[in-house]
Amino acid sequence: MSARRHTIIALTTIIALTGMFSVRRVVADSSGASVTRADGSSTQISALTRWLATGEQHTCVVLDNGTLKCFGSNSAGQIGSGGTLTLGDGAGEMGDALAAVRLGTGRTVRAVSAGALHTCVLLDDASVKCFGEGSKGRLGSGAEDDLGRSSATMGDALLPVDLGAGRTAVSLATGGAHTCAVLNDASVKCWGDNGDGQLGLGDTAARGDAPGEMGDALAIVDLGWPSGVTTRSLAAGDVHTCAMSSAGSVKCWGSGANGRLGSGDEVSRGDEPGEMGASL
């Protein structure tokens, strides 16, 4: 392998952080990093890249210094630039000209996950911050306001998601309009759109879109793992979610359309009482 050119493959990110969207190959050399597309063309980022996440029409990268840069569609503030202008479609907008996303004084990014119109980051203090479209509570802010469309909503003003007393995040997964996290006690919490039971709470009510729904009030997803087995990673689709256990087994819930749950039928699970836990 050349000392000036190598390929970075972040397998843990693919397992724990990607949902309905894709991970691209990242190539780095002495001049910086580039994201290589299917047609062989590339996007210059001007730094070494640690993590990569793609949303419906936007892309985010964590650089080797722990900063985050995002580009692409920005209608809901999902690239966190403090505006709504698309970035990356015009000359001179990439490289050093692309500003890092402001996530708070002294904070660096461990990992990033992108939903359809929102983005969530796992920070160095194991807290989670989300920005972009706020409808259905996908940002976990206790409201439905978009965050990231104004510079006043970013930086220190962007508050961490309340995961509960003493709870921090280990990994994230973002779906079309929902977000899930594996917490430091190996439990799982999900918030956002729940029209198909993708939060795994036995109903179809959204969480995180109104005050009092997050923190200790947000129920843990009952996955019914056997004793001694915990959740290792999560992946989220548009309207479904899957978890992999420490024993290597997989459980999925949410919309069952087109067999996406692998259950041998098209029945949704997690949208009614009694469908989670040992029944899943």
pLDDT for 202 equals 98
Within a domain: 218: yes
Structure tokens, 34: 């580039």
pLDDT for 48 equals 74
pLDDT for 250 equals 98
Range list of H helices, 97-244? none
Structure confidence at residue 47 as a pLDDT band (50, 70, 90): low
Structure confidence at residue 37 as a pLDDT band (50, 70, 90): very low
How far apart (Å, rounded) are the C-alpha atoms in residues 21 and 205? 24
Within a domain: 29: yes
Within a domain: 173: yes
Chain segment 176-230, per-residue pLDDT in tens: 999 999 999 999 999 999 999 999 999 999 999 999 999 999 999 999 999 999 9
Within a domain: 230: no
41 is in which domain, residue-wise?
Answer: 5-222
pLDDT for 271 equals 98
Within a domain: 275: no
Chain segment 118-168, per-residue pLDDT in tens: 999 999 999 999 999 999 999 999 999 999 999 999 999 999 999 999 999
Query: Could you tell me which residue, 15 or 212, shows the higher pLDDT?
Result: 212
The CA distances from residue 21 to 43, 187, 207, in Å, are: 18, 24, 22
Q: Longest C-alpha distance within the chain, in Å?
A: 56
Structure tokens, 226: 């056997």
Average confidence (pLDDT) over 87-115: 98
E runs forming strands in the chain = 5-8, 26-29, 32-36, 42-44, 49-54, 58-63, 68-72, 109-114, 118-123, 128-132, 169-174, 178-183, 188-192, 231-236, 240-245, 250-254
Contact between 29 and 4 under an 8 Å Cβ cutoff? The reply is: yes
Torsion angles phi and psi, residue 108, rounded to 5: -125, 165
Within a domain: 98: yes
Within a domain: 267: no
Q: Residue 193's domain is classified under what CATH number?
A: 2.130.10.30
Torsion angles phi and psi, residue 189, rounded to 5: -130, 145
Tell me which DSSP letter residue 207 carries.
B
Torsion angles phi and psi, residue 10, rounded to 5: -100, 85
Domain total for the chain?
1
Within a domain: 228: no
- Percent of the chain residues topping a pLDDT of 90: 82
